[in-house]
Amino acid sequence: MITREAMVVCGQIWFNAVFYELSEHTLITWQVEEGVEVPAGTVLCHLSGNARVLLSGERTALNWLQTLSATATQSRNYANAVLGTGCTILDTRKTLPGLRQAQKYAVSIGGCENHRMAYTTPY
């Protein structure tokens, strides 16, 4: 999997969970760590396993990675904008239905802080 845009990588846990739920024999080898900023064209990971499993999980796994990486990337942009000012950027309670914990996690990966909900490990 290769990124098309510069981004902060976020959501590997959810990405992995999609494929492992379909088959424990799927092999995912991440080339980058969670929370790292990467330029466009970076190889994020390699997947191998049953073709039916890979095709079945592809869209859901990518949706997780794209949504959470977008949140982390935008959070990083905001955090960088106030770097050195003593300001702290806090998120709101306005999250997508059912994705509150995941989006709060992405905000913290991006360098901002959670408001009204301390982050806990998702898995």
Q: How many domains does the chain have?
A: 1
Query: At 42, which CATH number?
Result: 3.90.1170.20
The model's pTM: 0.88
Q: Would the CA dihedral through 100, 18, 122, 31 be positive or negative?
A: negative
Residue 118 domain-assigned? Answer: no
Supply the residues annotated as catalytic: 94
Three-state SS string over 19-66 comes to HHHHCCCCEEEECCCCCCEECCCCECEEEECCHHHHHHHHHHHHHHHH
* Cβ-contact 64, 45 below 8 angstroms: no
Residue 1 domain-assigned? Answer: no
Residue 115 domain-assigned? Answer: no
What is the full per-residue pLDDT of the chain (123 aa) written as tens digits? 999 999 999 999 999 999 999 999 999 999 999 999 999 999 999 999 999 999 999 999 999 999 999 999 999 999 999 999 999 999 887 777 888 889 999 999 999 998 876 555 554
Residue 123 domain-assigned? Answer: no
